[in-house]
Structure 1
Amino acid sequence: MTAQQDIFNVGTFVGRVWNPSYAGPCLVVLRNGRLIDITSKTTPTMRDLLEREDAADYVTRADGRELASLDSLLLPSADGQNLQTMHLLAPVDLQAVKACGVTFARSMIERVIEERAAGDPDLAAKIREKVIAIVGNSLRNLKAGSAEAAKVKEALIEEGVWSQYLEVGIGPDAEVFSKAQVLSSVGHGADVGLHPISKWNNPEPEIVLVVNSSGMVKGATLGNDVNLRDVEGRSALLLGKAKDNNASCSIGPFIRLFDATYSIDDVRNAELRLKVEGEDGFVLDGRSSMKEISRDPLDLVSQTIGRHHQYPDGLVLFMGTLFAPTEDRETPGQGFTHKIGDIVTISNDELGALTNRVRLSTDCSPWVFGPSHLMRNLAARGLL
């Protein structure tokens, strides 16, 4: 039994599987290493499941039939998105896919550098050295919106290193943006995509909160908020182009529902690991600790959903990352950037591991199954 399997033996895990027999998705729960189809008229979608007050209790007692072993769908596959084969999907469906940026004060520096370098990786090292000389270790445990954060902001401005990223990084209001379209996220084992115009980019390992329409956090999963550093660095107005492309958002492998074994406090204390393995033999190991986040996860949720903004089908919210890709891959001073064929694994002891292969967005399987297709598929199966 693998460590990944051991993780799934504790807690309540739900997900989505593409079932070629239905030419559509099934809602599944993990039980003893088996994936059980619990799709029904009362819970045809993950959205419907998460609207239930008793979601965790419901899935533990729900009737269903076995679809596949966990092993068979966690193993890497060359045709992971082939619609003729059963495979894991992103574990969310009708939820809006939102993300928070610059939530870790230390990683904020990398955003400032990207902007000051205007997307040119050759300038990054010199700018990084200057900024770190100004702030030193003052960013550790810095809380956004605090008096201490205001002092750091003032010091950076005085040294001529002002950036709009300072405002959202350590000011009172968080950055929240749309990461991907409904149903466009890919799951474990799929390819993730880089827009072909990007030459400086990186993975972003993140915890993703799963929130229902009333703003209640129902669980958590892992995500890769693929980042195009050069595109966003040229202009913050290119954020949409930098973030939302074919296969540029990966979520999974499963949602761990909040229950007696797992809660928001586990999210607050989560340690994430990142491994990038290149076909060229390059290996990068990184980490991101939620203990160092500058804003509490529930504060980020309340800034996203509430009386000011409703999400009738709920949402998922990327929490941001501490990971700063400063290790040089080839050219000194340019830091890390992806190469086609990289294998990216984001893992956490309580949520499992999310693995994807890097390709160009133009070479990844096109997104062809949207909300209208889902509704027609469920209706044809008598589930609506």
Structure 2
Amino acid sequence: MAVDENYGLLPTDCENAVLVGRVWDDAVGGPTPVAIRNSEMVNLSHLAPTMSEILENCSATEILSANGPILGSVRDIEGGAVRVLAPVDLQCIKACGVTFAVSALERVIEERAMGDPGASREIRKELEALIGGELRTVKAGSEAALCLKERLQIDGYWSQYLEVAIGPDAEVFTKAPCLAAVGWGEEVGVRADSNWNNPEPEVVLICDSRANILGATLGNDVNLRDFEGRSALLLGKAKDNNASCAIGPFIRLFDDQFTLDDVRDADVTLEVVGEDGFRLCETVSMREITRDPKDLVAQTCSGDHHYPDGFALFLGTLFAPVQDRDVRGQGFTHHLGDEVQIRSPRLGTLRNRVNHSHLTPPWTFGLAALMRNLANRGLL
């Protein structure tokens, strides 16, 4: 079954959007930064060889006026003639966790269920009744949050996940190595030894080395709920696997038409369609985030953390799919072949298909390969 084709790759107002990204250029055997102009992909490598440097040194005006060769059209992407890469390269890929009440509840459920999906249903009912309402209204780090923490500690319901959900310090972790993220149309991976996992659709901010927020895109922070539920110390295995990070399709740079306020107000839709006929579709709002995006950026890049090539920051998932799929009461988990679409009107659509991590195309083009390729092309 195919996912609804009526949702396009580009933002609904793409004619007013400054869009940049990366494609694989067969002619040079490597990645090339591009801008989308009139649905055509304009080569930007004459401005700088990497997306990191372009975003660090070039203004939106320079990008819009760039006169590089045309590498194809968006129609070529959708037809499979052009391979779209994740729109970041040298940037560090960071991610925030439990920044929405629903994800905070689900992380606590995983913890109390110790990674067992069969135990999640009753725990979910109990926690929703106990703290669901308060989590949706309390401001992280506030006096009210401190009072809620003290009460839950007394009642035996406190959790390390609630600490980062409503405490003063956000959870920020490294999601994937540089160049490891996959782009639009590529496979995303879950480990074969996981039996409880899900997509995590997120808005991703793109920042330069000075922590200036330059724009936004979409991402899938694929997660293994059973691994992290057994122990938070398994976060690396739950989060960082082959093809477990998808970003794209393109970065929309901020300008007069699109600002951080549009990110704060964005609606994001998750759609999963399985080869078994299963279908899940939900839409939620970034307005439900418990920490402001600027605060999350400030907690990521400060005097204690520097990112000289910039960074991409996942803002946390708005979703925790719980719709039963295989066994009543055990909620959602991926099947191989699931097609996942993450879309937002002002950012476009990120589409990927699920496979086991060890079966996804091997990641072999790392930093050394990139430097050799750029040197051979005379771009360094």
TM-score of the pair, normalised by structure 1: 0.95
Partner of 1:268 in structure 2?
A: 264
Partner of 1:26 in structure 2?
A: 32
Partner of 1:46 in structure 2?
A: 51
CA-CA distance at 1:158 after TM superposition:
2.7
Matches within 5 A, 1:239-258: 239-258=235-254
Q: Give the one of 307, 321, 324 matched to 1:325.
A: 321
Moved more, 327-336 or 250-259: 327-336
Determine whether 1:160 maps to 2:156: yes
Matches within 5 A, 1:22-171: 22-40=28-46, 42-52=47-57, 54-75=58-79, 77=80, 86-171=82-167
Q: Which amino acid aligns with 1:260?
A: D
Residues 114-159 of structure 1 show CA distances to partners (whole Å, capped at 9, x for unaligned) of 0111100011011111111211422223321112222332333233
Partner of 1:211 in structure 2?
A: 207
TM-score of the pair, normalised by structure 2: 0.96
Q: Which amino acid aligns with 2:63?
A: V
Partner of 2:183 in structure 1?
A: 187
2:351 is paired with a residue whose SS is strand
Partner of 1:81 in structure 2?
A: none
Determine whether 1:8 maps to 2:14: yes
The verdict on how the C-alpha distance between 1:136 and 1:363 changes in structure 2, with shifts beyond 3 A counting, is: closer
The total of aligned residue pairs comes to 374
Q: Which amino acid aligns with 2:54?
A: L
Unaligned runs of 5+ in 1: 78-84
Q: Give the one of 374, 378, 382 matched to 2:378.
A: 382
How big is the alpha-carbon RMSD for the aligned residues of Structure 1 and Structure 2? 1.4
Unaligned runs of 5+ in 2: none
Q: Distance in 2 between matches of 1:21 and 1:135?
A: 57
Q: Which amino acid aligns with 1:38?
A: L
Partner of 1:351 in structure 2?
A: 347
Q: Which amino acid aligns with 1:68?
A: G
Could you tell me whether the CA contact under 8 Å between 1:101 and 1:320 is conserved in 2?
Answer: yes
Q: Distance in 1 between matches of 2:368 and 2:163?
A: 39
Q: Distance in 2 between matches of 1:204 and 1:309?
A: 25
Could you tell me whether the CA contact under 8 Å between 1:34 and 1:67 is conserved in 2?
Answer: yes
4+ long deviations beyond 6 Å: none
Could you tell me whether the CA contact under 8 Å between 2:105 and 2:132 is conserved in 1?
Answer: no
Could you tell me whether the CA contact under 8 Å between 1:134 and 1:155 is conserved in 2?
Answer: no
CA-CA distance at 1:237 after TM superposition:
0.4
Moved more, 120-129 or 130-139: 130-139
Q: Distance in 2 between matches of 1:17 and 1:312?
A: 23
Q: Which amino acid aligns with 2:274?
A: G
The verdict on how the C-alpha distance between 1:151 and 1:203 changes in structure 2, with shifts beyond 3 A counting, is: same
Q: Distance in 2 between matches of 1:331 and 1:375?
A: 49
The verdict on how the C-alpha distance between 1:376 and 1:324 changes in structure 2, with shifts beyond 3 A counting, is: same
Q: Distance in 2 between matches of 1:57 and 1:2?
A: 31
1:139 is paired with a residue whose SS is helix
Q: Distance in 2 between matches of 1:109 and 1:86?
A: 41
Partner of 1:82 in structure 2?
A: none
CA-CA distance at 1:182 after TM superposition:
0.3
Percent of aligned pairs with the same residue? Answer: 55
Could you tell me whether the CA contact under 8 Å between 2:76 and 2:82 is conserved in 1?
Answer: no
Q: Distance in 2 between matches of 1:43 and 1:222?
A: 24
2:173 is paired with a residue whose SS is strand
Could you tell me whether the CA contact under 8 Å between 1:105 and 1:142 is conserved in 2?
Answer: no
Q: Which amino acid aligns with 2:50?
A: T
